[in-house]
Every structure is written in structure tokens, then in C-alpha cells.
């Protein structure tokens, strides 16, 4: 549904999989493959992330390795927009 909206609005788009798990991503991967939609990022289904969020803390602040992943996505997006 969301893809239909952005298609109609003719905006560039990509997918971020939230609460990603290896054995659960199949249907999303298949759909994105068929539609040719890039998967930009997978945020794992992790209790630590959920707990940080529950306190209102962005997990990139406490888990620095994720900072880089997000920066990559922002760069990617900038490239497409500019």
C-alpha cells in the first residue's frame, strides 16, 4: 500500500526492514526483488533496541556500530535526491 502511494506521487523510494529476522524476512525480500525495490537497511529484532526505545533513547546513541549503518543510508538517500 505504501509503495502504491509513493509510486503515484512519483517519489524515489527504498525499504528499511524493522524487527528483521533471518527466517522472517523472506516475504519482504521476495516482494522487493520482484518489484526491484532496494533494501536499504535491516534493523534486527533485538530486545536491547526495544528497551532503549522504551526509555526514549535512539539506539544509535548507545550502539555506535549502528551510527555508521544509518549514515550510509542517509548518504544513499542524499545521492538519489541531489
Binding site for other proteins (CB under 8 A): 1, 4-5, 8-9, 24, 45, 47, 50-51, 53-56
Q: What's the min distance (Å) between Cβ of 51 and other proteins? A: 6
Q: Is the dihedral of CA 61, 64, 66, 70 positive or negative?
A: positive
Retrieve residue 11's grid coordinates: 517519489
CB of 75 to other proteins, least distance (A): 27
CA distances to 32, 46, 81 from 63, rounded to whole Å, are 28, 12, 28
Min dist CB 43 to other proteins, Å, is: 13
Amino acid at each position: 500500500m505504501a509503495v502504491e502511494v509513493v509510486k503515484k506521487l512519483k517519489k524515489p523510494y527504498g525499504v528499511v526492514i524493522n524487527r528483521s529476522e533471518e527466517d522472517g524476512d523472506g516475504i519482504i525480500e521476495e516482494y522487493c526483488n520482484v518489484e526491484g525495490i532496494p533494501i536499504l537497511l535491516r534493523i534486527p529484532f533485538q530486545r536491547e533496541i526495544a528497551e532503549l526505545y522504551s526509555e526514549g533513547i535512539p539506539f544509535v546513541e548507545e550502539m555506535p556500530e549502528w551510527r555508521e549503518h544509518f549514515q550510509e543510508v542517509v548518504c544513499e538517500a542524499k545521492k538519489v535526491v541531489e
